[in-house]
Amino acid sequence: MGWAALSELVPLYPLYALLFLDTGLSGAQISMLFAVWSLTSFVAEVPAGVLADRWSRRGVVVLAGVLQAAGFAVWTAAPQTWAFAVGFVIWGLSGALVSGASEALVYDGLVAVGAGDGYVRVNGWMTSAELLVQIPTAFAAGALFAVGGYELVGWASVVACLAAAALALRFPEAPRTEDDDEEEPLRQGVLESLRSPSLRVLVLAVALIGGLDAIEEYFPVLAGDWGVPTTAVPVAVLVVALAGAAGAALGGRAGRLRGGTLLALLVVAAAFLAGAALWARPAALAAVAVFYALYLAVLVVAEARLQDGIASRHRATITSVAGLGIELASLLVFAAWALGGPFAVAALVLAVVPVVRAGLRTREPTAPAAGTPTGERRRRSGSRG
């Protein structure tokens, strides 16, 4: 929880787009930087998971924090286009490193102490903490900028990333076994996620439902289009984020629901989003907030079910395969929005329901993960969607 919050307490987050604009970059140049960031994450995602499985998941999480700090240091020391590009490459590597390793590290750490059933709850709390910390981050960014401009904001962000990396050193890590040093972990991990029918549908379900989170990028657009004054847009978007935090925090309770009920939550979420698009008034953001809360509750359960469904030492690698799928699935959200705005995204939410349904039907793994006592496997009949 503390690490999840601290890793998001980065004052540059709400300001880096403005930094680019104030440095003189054009919209095309900023888009190019985002493309560099996404491409780096895409290429590094699965190899980063392999590194975590082969070396140390805790070490990879710590390295991710150090790299992110380095990327922001480059931006702050030399605020120029080339430095922004270099920083995004470093940040992309950092994001790839942490995406699969953190979930695998937390899950195996809970299993090691006999608390594997609590992962869905812990995962929900972590997601909630990441959203809630946007409030102090926004205030900190404004205060730091008022005192020392982008330079102070940048160096404070470097310190925050290094502090999160230091805190990650305290994560417990399950002892490695000789089998963890097998040859070709990348090939084995990827093949396992593709060959196992149950795991394949879990990975696909998590990729599709996780990709839907890309709609978060459009919340400010909705607020502006629906008549919210520009000065009030940040507050309006924050309200939606807080609703999402509440939904994620309730993920543990949602994990106890039957598969059909979870699917119903997803369908209701799509209905609220479509209804908000029809209403198209500032007050309609309340319906968007309900959509986001319900969606994140289901996403938290889906992420936990994937960890339940992995029964091998390739946990970080397979989680990274799902992360790669999320990157691809987010493109569907961008395309849907371009074609039909929030109505099309609501339809996309409904379209993923059959895959999520198949994922929620998946049974628990047939063999324990390396380093996992047999008695600590999840005993839930419907594993991960």
Whether residues 124 and 241 share a domain: the answer is no
Of all residues in the chain, the percent with pLDDT exceeding 90 is 32
Query: Reduced to 3 states, what is the DSSP secondary structure of residue 373?
Result: coil
At residue 177, does pLDDT exceed 70? no
The pLDDT assigned to 193 comes to 57
Whether residues 206 and 128 share a domain: the answer is: no
In terms of domains, do 163 and 230 share one? Answer: no
Q: Which of 3-12, 290-299, 359-368 has the lowest mean pLDDT?
A: 359-368
Average pLDDT, the chain: 82
Regarding whether 212 and 149 lie in a shared domain, the answer is no
Q: Lowest mean pLDDT: which of 204-218, 226-240, 271-285?
A: 226-240
For the stretch 233-263, pLDDT in tens is: 778 888 999 999 999 988 878 777 766 888 8
Read off the pLDDT band of 30 (50, 70, 90): confident
In this structure, the answer to whether residues 229 and 147 fall within a common structural domain is no
Domain that holds residue 137: 1-172
Q: Same structural domain for residues 241 and 352?
A: yes
Query: Rounded distance, CA 357 to CA 337, Å?
Result: 24
Q: Confirm whether 193 is domain-assigned.
A: yes
Residue 257 lies in a domain: yes
Boundary-marking domain end, from 143, 172, 201? 172
Q: Which of 54-63, 84-93, 225-234 has the highest mean pLDDT?
A: 84-93
For residue 1, what pLDDT is reported? 65
**DSSP reduced 3-state for 220:** helix
Percentage of the chain with pLDDT > 70? 86
Q: How does residue 41 score in pLDDT terms, banded at 50, 70 and 90?
A: confident
Residues 167 and 190 in one domain: no
Q: How far apart are CA 86 and CA 43, in angstroms?
A: 16
- Tell me, yes or no, whether 180 lies in a domain: no
Claim to verify: residue 358 and residue 226 sit in the same structural domain: yes
pLDDT in tens, 120-144: 888 788 888 888 888 888 888 888 9
Lowest-confidence segment of 66-80, 142-156, 210-224 by average pLDDT: 210-224
Statement to judge: residues 211 and 335 lie in one domain: yes
- CB neighbour list of residue 26: distance below 8 Å, 6 or more residues apart: none
At 147, the pLDDT band (50, 70, 90 cuts) reads: very high
165 and 195 belong to one structural domain? no
Instruction: Name the band, by pLDDT with cuts 50, 70 and 90, for residue 189.
Output: low
Among 115, 147, 172, give the residue marking a domain's end: 172
Q: How many CB atoms lie within 10 A of CB 116?
A: 24
- Mark out the alpha helices in the chain (DSSP H runs): 2-8, 16-23, 27-54, 57-77, 81-112, 119-132, 134-168, 185-195, 197-211, 219-225, 233-249, 251-254, 259-279, 285-309, 315-360
Looking at the structure, do residues 109 and 201 belong to the same domain, yes or no?
no
- Top mean pLDDT of 45-59, 107-121, 354-368 is at 45-59
pTM of the model as a whole: 0.74
Phi, psi of 275 (to 5 degrees): -65, -40
Domain containing 337 — which CATH number?
1.20.1250.20
Task: Determine, yes or no, domain membership for 177.
Answer: no
Q: Is residue 355 part of a domain?
A: yes
Same domain? For 270 and 371 the reply is yes
311 belongs to a structural domain: yes
| Residue 361: pLDDT over 80 | no
Q: Is residue 179 part of a domain?
A: no
Distance CA 377, CA 366 (A): 9
CB 19 within 8 A of CB 173: no
pLDDT of residue 186: 59
The packing angle between helices 185-195 and 315-360, to 10°, is 0
Last residue of a domain, one of 148, 172, 196: 172
Question: Residue 178 domain-assigned?
Answer: no
Give me the number of domains the chain comprises. 2
- Higher-confidence position of 177 and 377: 177
Q: Which residue, 53, 55, 42, 93, is CA-closest to 71?
A: 93
